[in-house]
Every structure is written in C-alpha cells, then in structure tokens.
C-alpha cells in the first residue's frame, strides 16, 4: 500500500496532477520548501499509473532509475544482449543500435518507441554517430525536463551507454551528435571471426521468409534485346541479395506466351510448315524475322487475318492441333532465351501469362463480389483513387488483358506461393500500371495499407542509350539482339587478353573462361553501377576499360590480391585459425572499418532495391585496399606483420568475391 505524502510544486509552475490526486492528503502549501524525496516505490508506482511528476523529484528519480537500469543493462549484456548481437552479427550499425536502444530507454524513460538513429560518420570525429538528441529535444522541451538543450541530451545518451567491447570511446559534438570510435581490437576480432566462420555470417536478416522476384519476362517469338538486359541483370542481382539474406526467392520469368498475336503466328507456321511439328529452330530461322513476316501478312491479307483470328479462338478453346503449334513456338523461343541466360549465368523458373490464365475468371469474380469491379463504356474496370483513368480488367469485347493477368498472378503469389514480398522489375514506363494493380489489391484487402508486409514493389529502370543519346539500336534502326551484344563483349575481352600476351602463357580454357568473366561482367557492372532509375549510355570502350569504376578494374584488383597471397607461400587457411589479425596502422584500420560495413551496405541495397549501392561499396573497397597496399609502412610480404596483413588481404578478397557473387559476376584469380 502506498504511503500518503505531500507533493509540492514550485510557485511558478502550473498545478500538476500531483496537486489533486489520491496521494495528496495534506494541504497544498506553495511557499513551503520541498520535502525530502518519497520512497522510490511510490514514485515508480506513480509513473506506472501515468501520474505526472513535479520538477523537484525528477532529478532524484532519474539518478536512481538510471543507476538501476545501467545495472540491469550490464546483466543484460551477458545474457539477452549476447543473443541480440548474434542476430545482427556482422552488422555494426545494428549492433550499435542495440546499445543505444538501452541508453535511450534510460535517458528518456517516459518517451516510448524511440528508435536509435545510427549512421556511419562522414567526418573525423568517429566511425559511427547516434543522431537522436535533436529529435528528442523537440519532444521533451517544455515538459519540465532536466535537460537544457540537445547537447545535454547527447551527453546523457553517451553516459548511459552500456559497457561494450566494441566501443573504444565516445564524444558529443555540435547539437548532441554522439560520435563512436570502434575498438580496433574488436574490429580485428570480428573480421577474423568472419574468415573462420564464413562470409554468410555477415548476411542481413530481412523480416521476410519468401519473396517473388518477377524479372526478364521476354515475349515469345521475339528476340531478347538490349531492353531486356536491364530487367534480367537487375532482377538477378536483387534475387541474389535476398538469397544471401536467407530468403527463399521464387525467380519468376513472366513470359508473354498468351494473347491474340499467337493466332497469326500459328497460322503462319501452318502455311510455312504444313508438317509443323517437324519445324525446328533452324528451319524457322530468325524468330524476329518470323514474327515480322507473320505480322506483315496479318496486316496485308484479310483472309489470313480472319484465319488468324479463328486460330486464337481455337487455341483458347483448347483444340489439340493449335495447342501443339503454340507449344512448338514457345519451345523454340525458350531455346533462344536460354542462350542469353546461359551467358549471363541467370536462372529463372518460367510461369508465363498462360499459367495464370485459368485463375483470372475466379479472381475477377471475387473482386466483383467485393464491389470493386464496375461497368464503364462496355468494359469492366476498377477505379483507383487519385488516378483519372480506371484499371480495365475485362475489355469491352469480353477479353482479358495485362491487368487481368497481373491481378491473377498477384493473387496466386500471395495465396498459393505465400510470398511476403513480390518484386516486379520492369522499365519505369510501367510504373503507373503496377501502382494501379497494387492499389486495387489493397482495396481488395490482399495487401495491407502502408508499407507493411506482405507487400508488392515495382522496381523501375531507365533506358539503355546509344552514344547519340537515343535508344540503343543498330545502324539500320533495329533493336540490338542481346545475344549478339554479349558475344561482342566477350570477343573484345578475349582480344585484349591475346594482345597482352596471354595467348602464349595461358591454356585456351583459361582464356575462354577469363574472357567470359570479364566480358559478361563488364556488361553487367556497367548497368548495375548506375542508379537503376536513370538512363545510361552503352559504350564498349568504357565498360571494358581496365581503369576507373569498371568490372575490369575490379576483377583485376581481386586477381592482384590473390597473387599477393600466392606469392607469400603461406597456407591462408592455417593462418585463419593460428594467426592473429591486428589493425595498428591507420590504413589497416580504414580498410578494416570498410570491410565491417559490408553487411549494412547489403541490407541497404536490399531494403531500397538498389544494386548500385553494392557497386559503390565494392569500388570504394578496392580503392581503400590500394591505398593500404601501396603504403610502404604497410608492407605485406616479408614484414614483421606479414601474417596479420595476409589475413587482411584475404578478408578483402572474400568480401570482394561476395560482392561479385551478388552482382552475378564471376571473379578471376590471375591476370
């Protein structure tokens, strides 16, 4: 039972809840001196019941509670915090956030849901920074706080940090920024532990278990062109980053394998090859030319057009002959697509438009029963708030369209595949279409409002331009075939190797594999290093340059690191377990710090779906390593710190290889 007590407010203060509550049994005496602090259990009970404390008791309570919470924190650091650090192992920012979370609860116990704002430092005062002070001050000023401004809040946050081996020192700068200098011993130990346990221990841990990445998605009977390059490369990288993060990724190739165009293709196939099942890829020849010829015939010959329209009806009606012809055309197209995917090292599972076709009527019926589908000018549509055109889900002739298929696909992915994150990788021109589809899904209750999971995201990208600044095409204005583009990159890479004299030093197999890695890697990196929303200019000379921010430069940098380790003659696996990594020199420490930022960089790239973040990190890593290795004070082979510096070289190579892996680039080990 609480002890009755008189709680007095200083004369200048407005009456508080304490002046008129069940704990006040004595007259209100504004001129009397403040009484001694009441028992702590009384004050804690008051806080628990939401009673506002008067100014004279707050400093006392803060001191007592802070001591208790800090003591509890020390206990926690041995038990639960160890488990928390295990969860975000490798992610320095996340580990610091856990520490500052404890400090913030002690510093402002009455402010709920204060998330630590941790960022890497760009200045000279530390490695990381906690930026909560200014925001907290705007919340607590005027509430009778003991603090007199953001710097004082920052000092309290710093002082209430629990003890941790990862922190060497802290300081407060400007308006309360808490700068953290990491312990170089902890940094070295963390890097060496990664070498022993593997880079996968540094993987991010996103809050999803299953994701769909819908990418590439070419059209059947059409060649893959440079426009498909970006979707294929970006989508593959996003899938790789999520897979590295222990997410089950369903790589979906939503090919255009259904629709009215198949009527003219099938009818043209029957004309050219009466025994159509004997038609092969070689017999048909260039798929693009076959498509153009059938389209030309469709536009110029009314009788052919009528037969083609009937062919669509028969195909959709399930007639065996037409289904077999359709399957034949699809299979020939897949063979062509596979040539591109094989060169790029990309794996997808095809679930095209035809796969979702049977689900469309049920999905439309369900949306209609919910009152979302309305009649408009003979079509059936869903109106989307804020957009002046409706989403047509059934055309006026009763046929289905892209929106019908995309809604059915989204329903299937949420309900059958149980995906928590569905990512669509297409050009920015389709942004509004997917925005409308997602908003319709939210209206239907398939997706929650806001940015909560499960969610769907559209990953848009810009155009690939030629050197004239226009859409990249051949001289005769044809769209460039992707397979030709990739072969050209490989051939140029191979020619450069021969020119460097590697034809006499290496086997043919080594030349071919290196030309593949460098040529295809150069094309991928030239795309991925740009923010995906921007257009970029396709230029072979630039992307195959061995200087600057190119795949060639980075692959050669990795090969040089591998050469350093080989020349040492040491068994690096033995060094990992028996040697000790230290970060004494500034350049060693700078390199170590950048290595430790790998996990948070991948997390940022995953969260924002921006592969260029990984590219920026990789290029910076190679530059920082180059500064370290070229410094005479950081000599590796033959120095008294050879073991430690070889381990640092190996850690750099391991992180570079993982970056290459995430970008879909094959590393090379010698030059």
Question: For the purposes of burial, counting CB atoms within 10 Å of the CB of 176, is it exposed (0-12), middle (13-18) or buried (19 or more)?
Answer: buried
Q: Are 49 and 83 in contact (CB under 8 A)?
A: no
What's the rounded Cα separation, in Å, for the pair 646 and 227?
43
For 318: left if phi > 0, alpha if psi spans -120 to 50, otherwise beta; the answer is left
What's the rounded Cα separation, in Å, for the pair 189 and 582?
8
The verdict on 655 and 532 lying in the same domain is yes
Instruction: Give me the number of domains the chain comprises.
Output: 3
The verdict on 174 and 277 lying in the same domain is no
CA 214 distance to own-chain centroid: 15
Mean pLDDT of the chain: 86
**435 domain residue, yes or no:** no
Query: CATH number, domain at 152?
Result: 3.30.1360.70
The verdict on 174 and 311 lying in the same domain is no
The verdict on 516 and 656 lying in the same domain is yes
Write down the pLDDT at residue 43. 46
Q: Are 304 and 333 in contact (CB under 8 A)?
A: no
The verdict on 523 and 642 lying in the same domain is yes
**75 domain residue, yes or no:** no
Write down the pLDDT at residue 283. 57
- State how far the alpha carbon of 652 is from the alpha carbons of 446, 557, 596, 668, in Å: 44, 10, 10, 14
The verdict on 176 and 285 lying in the same domain is no
**232 domain residue, yes or no:** no
Using alpha carbons, select from 52, 361, 48, 417 the residue that is nearest to residue 214. 417
Query: CATH number, domain at 571?
Result: 1.10.730.10
ω into 653 cis (within 30 of 0):
no
**456 domain residue, yes or no:** no
Among residues 151, 182, 213, the one where a domain terminates is 182
The verdict on 174 and 272 lying in the same domain is no
Mean pLDDT by 10 residues, the chain (671 residues): 35 34 32 46 47 47 43 41 58 95 92 92 88 91 82 94 95 94 97 96 95 95 86 98 98 92 91 74 68 92 93 89 91 91 96 95 96 94 94 90 96 98 96 97 95 95 89 66 92 94 92 96 97 93 94 97 96 94 97 97 97 98 98 96 98 98 97 84
The verdict on 274 and 171 lying in the same domain is no
Place of tokens 């969260």: 607
**210 domain residue, yes or no:** no
- State how far the alpha carbon of 200 is from the alpha carbons of 191, 244, 607, 655, in Å: 13, 7, 18, 10
What lies within 8 Å, CB to CB, of 640 at 6+ separation is: none
**671 domain residue, yes or no:** no
What lies within 8 Å, CB to CB, of 436 at 6+ separation is: 382, 384, 387, 391, 403
Helix (H) or strand (E) holding 423: strand 421-427
**542 domain residue, yes or no:** yes
The verdict on 159 and 284 lying in the same domain is no
Among residues 297, 314, 346, the one where a domain terminates is 346
Provide the residue range defining the domain that includes 266: 260-346
Structure tokens at 268: 């043209």
The verdict on 651 and 538 lying in the same domain is yes
**402 domain residue, yes or no:** no
Q: Are 271 and 565 in contact (CB under 8 A)?
A: no
The verdict on 580 and 487 lying in the same domain is yes
Among residues 329, 346, 363, the one where a domain terminates is 346
């Amino acid at each position: 039972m609480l002890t009755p007590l008189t709680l007095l407010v200083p004369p200048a203060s407005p009456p508080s809840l304490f002046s008129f509550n069940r704990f006040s049994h004595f007259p209100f005496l504004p001129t009397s001196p403040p009484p001694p602090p009441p028992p702590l259990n009384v004050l804690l009970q008051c806080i628990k019941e939401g009673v506002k404390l008067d100014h004279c008791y707050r400093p006392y309570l803060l001191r007592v509670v802070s001591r208790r919470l800090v003591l509890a924190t020390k206990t926690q650091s041995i038990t639960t915090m160890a488990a928390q650090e295990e969860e975000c192992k490798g992610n320095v920012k996340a580990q610091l956030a856990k520490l500052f979370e404890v400090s913030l609860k002690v510093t402002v116990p009455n402010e709920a849901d204060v998330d630590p704002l941790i960022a890497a430092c760009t200045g000279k005062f530390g490695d990381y920074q906690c930026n909560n002070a200014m925001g907290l001050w705007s919340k607590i000023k005027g509430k009778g706080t003991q603090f007199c401004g953001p710097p004082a809040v920052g000092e309290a946050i710093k002082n209430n940090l629990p003890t941790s081996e990862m922190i060497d020192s802290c300081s407060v700068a400007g308006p309360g920024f808490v700068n953290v200098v990491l312990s170089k011993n902890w940094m070295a130990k963390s890097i060496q532990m990664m070498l022993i346990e593997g880079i996968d221990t540094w993987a991010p841990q996103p809050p999803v278990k299953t994701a769909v990445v819908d990418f590439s998605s070419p059209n059947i009977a059409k060649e893959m062109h440079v426009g498909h390059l970006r979707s294929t490369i970006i989508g593959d990288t996003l899938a790789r980053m999520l897979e590295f993060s222990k997410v089950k990724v369903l790589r979906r190739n939503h090919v255009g394998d259904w629709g009215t165009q198949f009527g003219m293709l099938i009818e043209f196939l029957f004309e050219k090859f009466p025994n159509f099942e004997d038609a092969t890829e070689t017999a048909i020849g260039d798929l693009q030319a076959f498509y153009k010829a059938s389209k030309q015939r469709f536009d110029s010959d009314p009788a052919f057009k009528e037969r083609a329209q009937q062919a669509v009806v028969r195909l959709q009606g399930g007639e065996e002959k037409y289904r077999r012809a359709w399957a034949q055309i699809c299979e020939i197209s897949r063979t062509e697509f596979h040539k591109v995917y094989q060169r790029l090292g990309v794996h997808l599972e095809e679930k095209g438009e035809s796969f979702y076709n049977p689900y469309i009527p049920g999905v439309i019926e369900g949306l209609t029963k919910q009152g979302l589908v309305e009649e408009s000018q003979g079509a059936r549509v869903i109106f989307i708030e804020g957009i002046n055109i409706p989403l047509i889900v059934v055309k006026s002739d009763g046929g289905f369209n892209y929106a019908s298929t995309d809604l059915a696909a989204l329903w299937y992915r949420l309900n059958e595949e149980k995906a928590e994150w569905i990512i669509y990788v297409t050009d920015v021109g389709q942004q509004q279409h997917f925005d409308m589809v997602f908003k319709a899904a939210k209206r239907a209750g398939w997706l929650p409002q806001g940015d909560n999971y499960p969610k769907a995201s559209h990953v848009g990208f810009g155009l690939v331009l030629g050197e004239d600044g226009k859409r990249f095409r051949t001289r005769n204005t044809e769209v460039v075939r992707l397979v030709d583009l990739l072969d050209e990159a490989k051939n140029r890479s191979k020619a450069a190797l021969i020119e460097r004299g590697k034809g006499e030093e290496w086997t043919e197999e080594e030349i071919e594999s290196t030309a593949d890695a460098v040529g295809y890697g150069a094309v991928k990196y030239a795309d991925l290093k740009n923010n995906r929303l921007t257009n970029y200019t396709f230029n072979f000379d630039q992307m195959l340059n061995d200087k600057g921010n190119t795949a060639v430069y980075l692959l050669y940098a990795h090969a040089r690191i591998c050469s350093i380790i080989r020349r040492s003659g040491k068994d690096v696996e033995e060094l990992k377990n028996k040697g000790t990594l230290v970060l004494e020199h500034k350049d060693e420490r700078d390199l170590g710090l950048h290595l430790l930022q790998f996990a948070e960089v991948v997390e940022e790239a995953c969260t924002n779906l921006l592969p260029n973040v990984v590219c920026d990190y990789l290029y910076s890593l190679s530059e920082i390593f180059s500064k370290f290795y070229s410094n005479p004070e950081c000599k590796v082979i033959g120095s008294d710190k050879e073991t430690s510096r070889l381990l640092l070289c190996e850690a750099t190579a391991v992180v570079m290889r993982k970056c290459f892996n995430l970008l879909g680039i094959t590393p090379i080990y010698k030059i």
